Structure 1
Amino acid sequence: MATALLLNVLIFLTAAVLVVPIIKRLGLGEVLGYLIAGVLIGPSALGLVPDAEGVLQFSQVGIVFLLFVIGLELKPARLKLMRKAVFGFGSLQVAITTLVLGLTALALGLPPVAAAVVGFSLGLCSTPLVLHLLGERQELNSRHGRHAFALLLFQDMAAIPVLAVIPILAADSLVSGGMTAVLKEVAIAVAAFTGLIFGGRKLLPPLFRLAAATDSREVFAGMSLLVLIGAALLMELAGLSMALGAFIAGILLADSEYRHSIEADIEPFRGLLLGLFFMAVGMTAKVGLLTQSPGLVLGLTALLLLAKGASLMIAARVYRCGWRETTTLGVLLSQGGEFAFVLLTAAGSAALLAQDLVHVLVLVVSLSMAATPILFLGHERLVRPLFKKPRPKRDFDAMGDDSPRIILVGFGRFGQIMGRALQGLEIPYTVLDINADHVDFVRRYGNKVYYGDATRLDLLDAAGARHAQVLVVAVGDPDISMRIIHRASKRFPHLKIYARARDRHHAQLLMRAKVGFILRELLPASLEMTREVLIGLGVPRDQAQHTIDTFRPHDEETLRRQLEVFGNEKKQMQTVRQAAKELETLFEADEDILTRVEEIPRRQASDSDDTKRSANES
């Protein structure tokens, strides 16, 4: 058993390593490479892995991991902002696409109920395929990327009730009490959904605090997998989608201070399992039908791509999207999706569709998925330039490892000051900055700075992280800062990390990550300004400096105490009030400075009276 399992793993890895790089080098993307690799090793070709259906069922876990990571990136506040796109644009698209495809199926001779099921099933798109294509091109945060994600999210939610309704659409199901059974399933699903949300809010923070307290990377990774798989299994047992459960769990952890660590632990599993999913799709495609009836299969595939693309463009224009975005969505979302496999199979089992038709439609969906990377590439190269000439894509700068002692990430106002000092001391350092325009501007003044993304470990390695002594993270975005620190500390544990904290919360996150030195960017300037204000009020310089020297260690001690109750807002507020009283006590003990400060209003009033008397005498 173990030998057979290892042999299958070896076959999958060999096929992926041999085929995917070739297809990717041709510019067709990884997804098509995985699909072709799956066809080659599947029953339709070499037959190296005969149990294609079993592999497909297991590989669905890849979608679960993908939705969990997406949920981690999507904070609840952002999801609230997207509600109009999700429910407005999403429902509009599903309605139009289902209508167009359903009427097409009806015209081809299917009964009304069967045509409606086929129209809805084929109207769903492939979440992992679309998100993978957008991720490859770094377009997830673009306007069409956000709209595509909103549509996919609504489709995933809409597929659940349809899957529950299919059994009662079969003959005599309503008479036999099917409606009662469905209502019971809906009640169970709602209870599980509600329980996951409210239970997750209460249980997840203490669970991850407990795992983090062990200082064991294995225990923390195990906790991440436990939450992910547990949430997915709960939704599955309740009759909902495993992917939906994982997505909700990810959203619940999106605001957590552990988000970046969880993402780093899950990322390798996600990539491998998604590749396995696409290979399994290729394996399950009954390519023999293509050789038996090529005209029928290819014609239906072309009809699906055209009808779905047109309906998506109609929905996008009704939603008032621009033409560039409309055409992009029409091509990007023109394929069938993985939920079509589930819905069509369920419809076949319920005798709503003939099994031969189900096999043909599953192959059509698989071919549409394989065609999408090619069509999207053609659209990207030929159609997009017609609307707006894109700015030439700039590759990251090539960096030679000249063994710098310091790697400085972020070269804004903060980083430039440090860079000038290091340059004056002739200490070798390398600068990485993600803003290409900023890099070009800074280079005009003779600074040595590279355009590169420091969250990518390969670029950090190329910049010399393997041999450097210090990593200075001076970027302004706390999320990016924490992502860099979590990844760099795991890959290059020898690096001493110095970080700029944007605010108090960011400083606490850095302290939890055990960063060696943290500088709160506003603290030194604020304290210096406070000292000068006191001097301006008439307090002697040494006394003003003594006040600052008293305040600073007290504030740092307060920050450490707040760290102990991190995430508990009520206790944090108690800590702040207690710290304020302690500070008052410290200043009361310093009678000299208090006396000086209290004398200021009296002295100012006396000076004002003297000025008035002089004016009257004049």
Structure 2
Amino acid sequence: MLDPAIILCALISGLLMRALGQPALLGYLAAGFVLHEMGIQGESMLTAISEIGITLLLFSIGLKLNPRDLLQTRVWGTAVIHMAALQCLFAGMIWLCGQALPQLGLDLTGTLILAFALTFSSTVFVIQVLQERGEMASRHAKLAIGILIIQDIAAVVFLGFSAGKVPQLSALLLLLLFPARPLIIRLLSLAGHGELFTLCGLAMAILGAQMFELVGIKGDLGALVLGTILAGDQKAKELAKNLLYFKDLFLVGFFLSIGLSGWPDPTLLWLAIALGLLALLKPPLYFLLMTRFHTPPRTAVLSSLALSNYSEFGLIVVAVAATAGWLDPQWTAALSITIAVSFVLSTPFNTHAHALYQRWRKSLTKHQSANLRASMTPLNNTRILVLGMGNIGTGAYNAMMERHGSCVVGVDDNDQKLQQHLADGRRVVAADASDPDFWGRIDKANLELVMMALTNHAENKLVGKLLRELGYTGPITAVVRFAEETKELEEQGISTFNLFAEAGSGFAGHADAQLPDAEADPAGTREGTDLRQNFPRPDVTKN
């Protein structure tokens, strides 16, 4: 079997790309094309891995999805108008190409299908890029993913009808999945937190896809729907984290399969490259639509750049059309080149997305809507900021609030958390800590301390660097988990609190207080030994 050797080649290629500062998925694509030139083709295992990867991707998206987010005008409005505009633009261009090059054999149906395939952006690429940057919880990530889901639903609907699949009457039984949600959540709870829990999630994703296939509906939509039904529960969040690396592993097969599909003839090859270059038209249109729907310019820029590519769903659409006889099968190989070109173009823009916004910030903020500009009020009387209001951040906020009063402000990018914190009487604002526009609302001359309890190390580094670039010279503290993170942040002049190391010290202090004679001897001086001194309370502002 050649499939294990193919995957090994993908691993080596991915490592090389990562060493060059590029996403590993470009290495997988390159490995596929190189192996094709060597006459090597994938076998059944690679196909199965690829299909499971897409299923897990959609299931994971569903687990994190809040259906109310899709009802926002900035999400569905941007997605629908963008797809409609690109459909007209690409259809016109491809029709002209078909008139100039009759050998392409494009009729009106083929032209419209190709244009439709090019309207999507890549769910796989966007998720990979956002995960590597540690921005999956950001506002621009939620906006981009919401738009992707609208596009993916359109693709799945098209595939369902184009493949001749008409939902059976028994498809109505799938509605029972919604009242069954508590039972499914209960099953996940009984599975615990280990390998049985992860296996349960894998089985649910695959079972959900198979259930929809059995009643005449595209299985990918089933994985997405089942994930959406479970979304919002704590077990769903835990499951999404557990499936993360499995999803990434299986998606390697998908990217390899694109390259292994081979090359089209020279005419189609050059046309495919030209269509790939046209992916550069996507971000400006996304940005204009998003800002018209009252999206902050920075969020619009980062979302637009993430979406500046073509989609694996477009490749699936063309493959189905070729099978139905609506397109020459060579268009499948051609579109794989188009997608690869768009990935190559999109990568550097996303790598430097934050720097690009900083550079063109003055010009871009001119597109901010009047309503949004009016809402950007200064945050007065702010001396201490707590960034990230999860469990750690909330505990830090409460402690600092007791000592320093109302000059403490919490910052979080989660609207649901915001509502809960406001209901509990905390002074918390919804904002992205890595957004320079947010820091424009803060009087940094009066800011005395910034405490970073953000979700990941990459975000801590990004925010710390931004603060120094904006001229803040006061103390910054951050929660870390590993020694190498401490070293990197200290190089930026940021004091760190090692959560794992200090938690052990705090736990020992707590346990020491439970000793039988702790109340009788509160100083801890039994037999001349001050045990309490061995377990001092951790200081979050010092290493």
TM-score, normalised to structure 2's length?
Answer: 0.63
The one of 30, 33, 41 equivalent to 2:27 is 33
Q: CA deviation at 1:457?
A: 11
| Cα separation, 2, equivalents of 1:314 and 1:152 | 17
The residue that corresponds to 1:342 in the other structure is: 316
Pick from 251, 263, 273 the counterpart of residue 274 of structure 1: 251
Distance 1:11 1:322, change over 3 A: same
Please tell me the residue identity of whatever aligns with 1:101: F
Aligned to 1:368: 342
* 2:10 alignment partner, one of 15, 19, 26: 15
* Residue 90 of structure 1: aligned partner: 79
Aligned in 2, Cα 1:469/1:355: closer, same or farther, shift over 3 Å? closer
Please report how far the alpha carbon of residue 203 of structure 1 lies from its aligned counterpart in structure 2 after TM superposition: 2.7
Amino acid paired to 2:396: G
Structure 1 residue 64 and structure 2 residue 64: aligned? no
Distance in 2 of aligned mates of 1:217 and 1:142: 28
Which residues of 2 match residues 452-471 of structure 1 at below 5 A? 452-454=479-481, 470=504
1:296 paired to 2:271: yes
Is this contact kept in 2: 1:23–1:32, CA < 8 A? yes
Specify the alignment match of 2:121 in structure 1.
Answer: 125
**1:57 and 1:497 mapped to 2: Cα distance?**
52
Counterpart residue identity of residue 31, structure 1 = L
Instruction: Report the Cα offset of residue 158 of structure 1.
Output: 0.7
User: Contact 2:123–2:148 (CA<8 Å) still a contact in 1?
Assistant: yes
**Partner residue of 2:539?**
none
Conserved in 2, the CA contact under 8 Å of 1:86 and 1:151?
yes
User: Separation in 1 of the partners of 2:264 and 2:133?
Assistant: 34
- Secondary structure in 2 matching 1:451: strand
On the 8 A contact 1:100/1:307 being kept in 2, the answer is: no
Rounded Cα–Cα distance in structure 1 between residues aligned with 2:231 and 2:263: 42
1:119-160 CA distance string (max 9 Å, x none): 111111110101211222233344433321121000111112
| SS of match in other structure, 1:43 | helix
* Corresponding residue number in structure 1 for 2:89: 100
- Report if the CA contact (8 A) 2:49-2:250 is conserved: no
Match of 2:211 in 1: 234
Q: Report the Cα distance in structure 2 between the residues aligned to 1:354 and 1:309, rounded to whole angstroms.
A: 30
Pick one of 185, 191, 208 that aligns with 1:205: 185
C-alpha distance in 1, partners of 2:225/2:145? Answer: 15
Alpha-carbon distance, 1:11 to partner:
4.2
How far, CA to CA, are the matches of 2:342 and 2:247 in structure 1?
23
- Greater C-alpha radius of gyration: 1
The match for 1:43 is 36
- Decide whether the 8 Å contact of 1:38 with 1:278 is kept in 2: yes
Work out which of the residue numbers 146, 170, 173 in structure 2 matches 1:150: 146
Q: For residue 20 of structure 1, what is the amino acid of its counterpart?
A: G
- Mean CA deviation greater in 19-28 or 114-123: 19-28
In structure 2, give the amino acid aligned to 1:376.
Answer: N
Aligned to 2:522: none
Q: Which sits farther off after the overlay, 201-210 or 336-345?
A: 201-210
| 1:138 and 2:134 are equivalent in the alignment | yes
Deviations 1:499-531 (A, max 9, x none): 9xxxxxxxxxxxxxxxxx9xxxxxxxxxxxxxx
- Whether the 8 Å contact between 1:72 and 1:263 is mirrored in structure 2 is yes
User: Residue type of the partner of 1:71?
Assistant: G
1:363 and 1:251 map into 2 onto residues whose CA distance is 32
After superposition, the Cα gap between the structure-2 partners of 1:387 and 1:161, relative to the gap in structure 1 and judged at 3 Å, is: same
Code of the aligned partner of 1:207: L
- Work out the CA distance in 1 between the residues paired with 2:301 and 2:324: 37
Contact 1:196–1:231 (CA under 8 A) maintained in structure 2: no
Distance (whole Å) between structure 1 residues aligned to residue 28 and residue 256 of structure 2: 5
Counterpart for residue 412 of structure 1: 396
Q: Is the 8 A contact 1:101 1:307 kept in 2?
A: no
Give TM-score, length-normalised by structure 1. 0.56
Query: Which of the two has greater helix per residue?
Result: 1
User: Could you tell me how far apart the structure 1 residues matched to 2:64 and 2:174 are?
Assistant: 20
Q: Does the 8 Å CA contact 1:34/1:278 hold for their aligned counterparts?
A: yes
Alignment correspondent of 2:538: none
Task: Determine the C-alpha separation between the residues in 2 that align with 1:299 and 1:162.
Answer: 26
Q: Which residue of 2 aligns with 1:568?
A: none
- Secondary structure in 1 matching 2:204: helix
| Distance of 1:132 and 1:150 partners within structure 2 | 15
Cα pair 2:3 2:46 within 8 Å, conserved: no
Q: Is the Cα–Cα contact under 8 Å of residues 74 and 294 in structure 2 kept in the other structure?
A: no
CA contact (8 A) 1:166 1:347 kept: yes
Supply the distance in 2 between the matched residues of 1:313 and 1:417 (Cα, whole angstroms). 39
State the 1:295 CA deviation. 3.6
Give the counterpart letter for 2:175 in structure 1. Answer: T
Q: Distance in 2 between matches of 1:356 and 1:74?
A: 36
Counterparts of 1:496 and 1:250 in 2: how far apart (Å)?
41
Contact 1:231 1:245 (C-alpha < 8 Å) held by counterparts: yes
Matched, 1:451 2:478: yes
**1:415-564 map, 5 Å:** 433-434=453-454, 451-454=478-481, 470=504
Deviations for 1:62-96, whole angstroms, at most 9, x for unmatched residues? 232233233333345xx357443443322222212
8 Å CA contact retained: 2:9, 2:31: no
- In structure 2, distance between residues paired with 1:134 and 1:297: 27
Once the two structures are aligned, what percentage of the paired residues are identical?
23
Decide whether the 8 Å contact of 1:121 with 1:343 is kept in 2.
Answer: yes
Residue 451 of structure 1 and its aligned partner are, at CA, apart by 2.1
Aligned partners of 1:66, 1:142: CA distance in 2, in Å? 19
8 Å CA contact retained: 1:134, 1:140: yes
Distance 1:349 1:343 in 2: 10
**Which 10-residue stretch deviates more, 123-132 or 66-75?**
66-75
In structure 2, the CA distance between the partners of 1:415 and 1:389, relative to structure 1 (3 Å rule), is farther
2-structure distance, mates of 1:50, 1:457: 44
Separation in structure 1 between the aligned mates of residue 353 and residue 198 of structure 2, nearest angstrom: 40
User: 1:56, 1:281 within 8 Å by CA — same for their partners in 2?
Assistant: no
In structure 2, do the counterparts of structure 1 residues 25 and 348 end up closer, same or farther at CA, with 3 Å as the change threshold? Answer: same
Equivalenced residue count is 413
| CA drift at 1:225 | 2.1
Q: Partners in 1 of 2:480 and 2:65 — Cα distance?
A: 21
Give ranges in structure 1 of 5+ residues lacking alignment.
169-181, 391-407, 420-430, 473-494, 500-516, 518-618
8 Å contact 2:269–2:334 — kept in the other structure?
A: no
Correspondence for 1:55: 46
Structure 2 unmatched ranges of 5 or more? 99-105, 365-390, 404-450, 455-459, 489-496, 515-543
Out of 64, 76, 93, the position equivalent to 1:73 is: 64
| 2-structure distance, mates of 1:157, 1:69 | 15
Name 1:195's counterpart in structure 2.
Answer: 176
